Chain A
Amino acid sequence: DIQMTQSPASLSASLGETVTIECLASEDIYSNLAWYQQKPGKSPQLLIYYANSLNDGVPSRFSGSGSGTQYSLKINSLQSEDVSIYFCQQNYDSPPTFGGGTKLELK
């Protein structure tokens, strides 16, 4: 199985700040990478697919980048509603696998 490693595991940032979350795959996943946001007590929601394509309705302050084994999620101008756990997931090979998550809190 492809292992997905996220960093950091937790992150504290201030309103308006820019935040970056990293995701490392154990092998090349050819940009088949999705990002999900899970707000407290809620189900995960798709933010980004194919590494850098924004899902419908997702604010433009979210962006994704990367290739090969290294990917990142960037949140510009952090808002209070962005407090969540963020997960990356590879959809290149079966089984689809998720990163361990990054918990984003407000400072």
Chain B
Amino acid sequence: EVQLVESGGGLVQPGRSLKLSCLASGFTFSNYGMNWIRQAPGKGLEWVASISSSSSYIYYADTVKGRFTISRDNAKNTLYLQMTSLRSEDTALYYCARQRNYYDGPVFDYWGQGVMVTVSS
């Protein structure tokens, strides 16, 4: 069974940093592109960042470019999101999501349960 379990969220002051993790199991993690997608309270979905299976290709939403860094450790089956210079508008539930396959592009077939990040003084 595919499982994605996020951790590392919490309450943080504006301007501070936070690092999210997503532990994957039930599939060969190193074969799949992975993504972070967020959902502000009561709002829709916003793609944040993606990383290819071997970390060769990395993309960011303009809203986080230069502040967030996506990375992965295939030996540990773990995806990361390092968030710096956090703003109130970064407050959201952050989901880790698997890309269905390379050929379809960003179609997300498995999602974690999400981890809440609250940016507030």
Q: Does B80 contact A (CB under 8 A)?
A: no
Q: How many A-B residue pairs have CB under 8 A?
A: 55
Chain B contact residues, majority secondary structure: strand
A91 near B114 (CB under 8 angstroms)?
Answer: no
Do A43 and B95 touch (CB < 8 A)?
yes
Residues of A within 8 A of B32 (CB): none
Q: Tell whether, in the assembled complex, residue A45 and residue B111 are in contact, meaning their CB atoms are under 8 Å apart.
A: yes
B interface residues, how many (CB within 8 angstroms): 20
**Pairs A-B, 6 closest by C-beta atoms:** A43-B111, A96-B106, A98-B45, A91-B105, A91-B106, A49-B107
Q: Which residues of B contact A (CB under 8 A)?
A: 44-47, 59, 61-62, 95, 100, 104-114
CB-CB < 8 A to B113: which residues of A? Answer: 43
Contacts A/B (CB < 8 Å), 6 sampled: A36-B45, A44-B111, A49-B100, A50-B107, A87-B44, A94-B59
